Amino acid sequence: MSQVERTLIMLKPSCIERGLVGEILSRFEKKGLKIIQMKFLKMSRQMVEELYSVHKGKNFYETLVETLEGRRIVAIVVEGRKAIDVVRKLIGSTDPALAEPGTIRGDLAIEIPDNLIHASDSPESYKREYLIFFKEEELQTT
C-alpha cells in the first residue's frame, strides 16, 4: 500500500450537539480509513487561535472563534492512502451551502462558519494541528 499518510480531523461542537459523531465516523471507516487516535476535549481560546491563526483579521474570525471557544470537540487522527485529500473530498466544500450532496457538509450542514467539521489541508498542517490536540508522546507509531 503506497502513499499512506495521516490527517487530523476535528468534529466541531455542533457535531456533538446534533448527535452526528457516529454517522461521520462511519463514513470515514466505510471509505477504508483507519481511526488511529480520538479524544473529546474542550477548546481553549489559545487552542482556537492556534488552529485558525491564518484567518486572524478576516471578517468572520471572531464568529469562528465563538463557535469553538470553551466548547467540546472531538479530535481524530485517521490513516490511509492519500488520507489528506481523501478526507477533504469526503468532507466537501468549506461553505456547506455549496458542498456537493454525498459529502459530509453537503448532506449534514448548511451554516458557516459552523460547518460541522475541519480537516488538515497538507502534511505540514497535519503536523502543526496534531500538536494542538495531542502531545508528541501520544503519537501512535503502529
Binding site for ligand CMP (CB under 6 A): 55, 60, 64, 94, 112-113, 115, 118
Minimum distance from residue 61 beta carbon to ligand CMP (Å): 8
CA distances from 42 to 8, 64, 82, 110, 122 (A): 16, 15, 29, 24, 24
Catalytic residue among 118, 120, 126, 133: 118
- The H or E element that residue 77 is part of is strand 72-81
Instruction: For residue 59, list its beta bridge partners.
Output: none
Q: Which is nearer to ligand CMP, 83 or 136 (CB)?
A: 83
Q: Which is nearer to ligand CMP, 4 or 98 (CB)?
A: 98
Are 114 and 14 a contacting pair, CB within 8 Å?
A: yes
Q: Which is nearer to ligand CMP, 13 or 113 (CB)?
A: 113
CA distance 53 to 57: 9
Catalytic annotation on 55? no
Minimum distance from residue 29 beta carbon to ligand CMP (Å): 21
Minimum distance from residue 137 beta carbon to ligand CMP (Å): 26
Minimum distance from residue 108 beta carbon to ligand CMP (Å): 14
Q: Where are the beta strands (DSSP E) in the chain?
A: 4-11, 34-42, 72-81, 117-119
Q: Three-class SS of residue 124?
A: helix
Q: Which residues are catalytic?
A: 118
